[in-house]
Amino acid sequence: MKMDKLQPFLKWPGGKRQLLPEIRKYIPSTYNTYYEPFVGAGAVLFDIKPEKAVINDINKELINLYKVIMNVDKIDLLINDLKKHENNSTYYYQIREMDRKKEYDQLPDYIKASRFIYLNKTCFNGLYRVNSKGYFNVPFGRYKNPDYINEEVLRAVHKYLNENKIEILNTDFELAVEGAQEGDFIYFDPPYDPISKTSSFTSYSKESFGKSEQLRLRDTFIRLYEKGCYVLLSNSNTEFINSIYEYPGVIIKNVDAARSINSKADKRGKIKEVLIIGDGRNIKRQRMEKDIREIQYT
């Protein structure tokens, strides 16, 4: 399978394909384990192709999809089931309503994974949104030829996940990085701090991701940084985000990003974002230099 086929297999709010040229500038040349606690569609993961990684997402349907793609006994079942779908509104709403029924939990995991891809590629503008009960509620997108049977990409992802040491989790972001050690690289791509009252994607799951969660993420970032990890985080260029990451040694870079997924057409296009870099390896070097100076002085 060609390596150029290793790419995101979903549309995703906040997906990082457009921002990859900037992100690449701040990826460390060497690291031990790669952690991505908000993996989403995996744009950064599939771009840097780490040999050892821990990926996570709070979205259980998304993580089920990753696990099905990775499973050697289920990848063919998934692809074959994708070929059964139809691109029309009546069929779409029938598939969308499946999770409202009690028997949904008993469905095979590859059927749920197939449904997830189908809805993602045929829903309006690739949005992922759920209501307060956790039910997917995005309307039909009316695309002429949605690409929900991208077999080459799915098989490339399957190959990558099996040829490398990739652990897949479905838990809170803080728990997902508990095992991170000095020399590891962590990339955080959380739900962004909204730039306006109507721009939030916090309905990504039943759980919200508001200011308190952003602060908890900041605390996790700093702990990893102080531990000697290399930490990179992307977020909105808001006053709140800039203020909470003011910390000695932490660097904030302003970047332009293109956004093609938004419920309102006039909100798509160039927006301002930040990349926040905490090179914890510098802390270790600085502490060693300080210890050497103190020894020399005494």
**Radius of gyration of the chain from Cα atoms?**
20
Tokens of residue 89, six digits: 């509104």
Domain extent, residue 260, equals: 3-59+164-297
pLDDT band at 57 (very low <50, low <70, confident <90, very high): very high
pLDDT tens string 148-163: 999 999 999 999 999 9
For residue 202, the model assigns a pLDDT of 42
Starting at the edge strand found earlier in the chain, the sheet holding 165-169 runs: 165-169, 52-56, 34-36, 185-188, 230-236, 269-279, 251-259
**98: in domain:** no
**118: in domain:** no
For residue 71, the model assigns a pLDDT of 98
Query: How wide is the angle at C-alpha 106 spanned by C-alphas 104 and 107, nearest 5°?
Result: 70
Tokens of residue 25, six digits: 């500038």
Instruction: Look at residue 271 and tell me whether its pLDDT is greater than 50.
Output: yes
35 close to 180: Cβ distance less than 8 angstroms: yes
**84: in domain:** no
Q: What average pLDDT does range 181-202 have in this prediction?
A: 82
pLDDT tens string 73-124: 999 999 999 999 999 999 999 999 999 999 999 999 999 999 999 999 999 9
**128: in domain:** no
151: amino acid identity, one letter? E
pLDDT tens string 122-138: 999 888 888 888 899 99
Instruction: Look at residue 30 and tell me whether its pLDDT is greater than 90.
Output: yes
Mean pLDDT of the chain: 90
Strands 34-36 and 185-188, how do they pair? parallel
User: Which of the two residues, 204 and 218, has the higher pLDDT score?
Assistant: 218
**66: in domain:** no
**145: in domain:** no
How many domains does the chain contain in total? Answer: 1
Q: What average pLDDT does range 21-38 have in this prediction?
A: 97
Integer Cα distance of 57 and 171 in angstroms = 7
**184: in domain:** yes
Integer Cα distance of 240 and 164 in angstroms = 38
155 close to 1: Cβ distance less than 8 angstroms: yes
The Cα diameter of the chain in Å comes to: 80
Instruction: Look at residue 146 and tell me whether its pLDDT is greater than 60.
Output: yes
Tokens of residue 247, six digits: 């910390």
Instruction: Look at residue 263 and tell me whether its pLDDT is greater than 50.
Output: no
Q: State what percent of residues in the chain have pLDDT above 90.
A: 76
CATH for 48: 3.40.50.150
**125: in domain:** no
Integer Cα distance of 89 and 39 in angstroms = 30
pLDDT band at 55 (very low <50, low <70, confident <90, very high): very high
Distances (CA, A) of 24 to 70, 167, 199, 204: 26, 23, 27, 26
For residue 156, the model assigns a pLDDT of 97
Query: How wide is the angle at C-alpha 287 spanned by C-alphas 285 and 291, nearest 5°?
Result: 115
